[in-house]
Amino acid sequence: MSPILEGSGLSMRYGDLQVLTGVDFTVGEGEAVGIVGPNGAGKTTLLNVLAGAVRPTAGTVRIAGRDVTRARPDQRCRLGVGRAFQVPRPFGGMTVLENVVVAASYGAGLRGPALSRQAADVLEECGLTELANRRAESLGLLHRKRLELARCLATGPRVVLLDEIGAGLTDAEAAELVSAVRQVRSGDIAIVWIEHIVHVLVQVVDRLVCMDTGRVIADGEPQAVLGDAVVIDAYLGKAAS
Ligand SMILES: Nc1ncnc2c1ncn2[C@@H]1O[C@H](COP(=O)(O)OP(=O)(O)OP(=O)(O)O)[C@@H](O)[C@H]1O
Ligand SMILES: [Mg+2]
């Protein structure tokens, strides 16, 4: 079976700066993969390339075996790639429900009762049902993060790309977010999650990838990756000091 999302030989260069070098990255159906690595390692750039926000200077992106390297982000969204950003980007003038409805309508192409059902399900899944009629701009950080996840799920993804959605949360809030992401997993959606809060990440992922200076330096079972001398030297040693 083809992986749900696959990047092969991905390279990215901005002027003289080589940001990604020959990165191979795959996510299986329903698999949860974490990405860690020092600041500037190229993690967000990899997500941008996979989602179609930027075109790589070399390499190929496939969704379920189909070459989408030249496809726009909205086309990839329709093929099942959902994305949540570190800084939530809700439509501030709209309610929580309206935000999710827009995502389900444009991202998943739903209409009528199917659209209402999808929106209600996603709000429930993300613990936002009670806040459905609140204006998005009035939400606190945890709820804005939940809404970001809800908007992503409303597009009906087969894989979600999460970039530091735990950043800025307290330990208790991060634990709540983990339970929301776990719910996503139980729905058989694959996850790619970049997060510096490693102890939060390892509660959810099956596999951990560590990047440094635009390359994948480790890829495997989370505890094995965290114990890898190369990873400790490039990332964990710096994080601890
Ligand atoms: N649009 C751009 N133009 C020029 N350089 C860029 C651009 N986007 C990213 N970079 C550079 O590419 C490198 C990798 O950035 P990226 O944001 O992918 O790192 P990251 O691993 O996500 O880091 P962080 O953990 O801080 O979020 C950095 O040196 C960054 O300055
Ligand atoms: Mg980043």
Q: In whole angstroms, what is the distance from residue 181 CA to residue 23 CA?
A: 26
User: The CATH number of the domain where 205 resides is what?
Assistant: 3.40.50.300
Last residue of a domain, one of 123, 156, 189: 156
The domain boundary residue, chosen from 156, 189, 216:
156
68, 118: one domain: no
Residue nearest to atom 29 of ligand 1 (CA): 40
Output the ligand 1 site: residues, CB below 6 A. 14, 17, 19, 37, 39-45
Residues 50 and 151 occupy one common structural domain: no
- The answer, yes or no, to whether residue 89 has pLDDT greater than 70, is yes
Q: Are residues 103 and 151 in the same domain?
A: yes
Mutate to test the pocket of ligand 1, among 13, 19, 46 (most ligand atoms within 8 A of CB): 19
Report how many helices (DSSP H) and strands (DSSP E) the chain contains, helices first.
10, 10
Claim to verify: residue 76 and residue 169 sit in the same structural domain: yes
As for how many domains the chain has, the answer is: 2
Boundary of a domain, candidates 156, 173, 208: 156
- Best mutation site among 14, 35, 163 for ligand 1 pocket (most ligand atoms within 8 Å of CB): 14
CA 115, 120, 126, 131 torsion-angle sign? positive
Domain that holds residue 144: 88-156
Which residues neighbour 4 within 8 Å (Cβ) at sequence distance 6 or greater?
Answer: 27, 28, 29, 30, 31, 63, 64, 80, 158, 159, 190
Question: What does the angle CA 103 – CA 195 – CA 137 come to, to the nearest 5 degrees?
Answer: 40
The tens digit of pLDDT for each residue in 138-154 reads: 999 889 989 999 999 99
Please name the residue whose Cα sits nearest to atom 7 of ligand 1: 14
Ligand nearest to the CA of 40: 1
Same domain, 152 and 203: no
Give per-residue pLDDT as tens, 26-74: 999 999 999 999 999 999 999 999 999 999 999 999 999 999 999 999 9
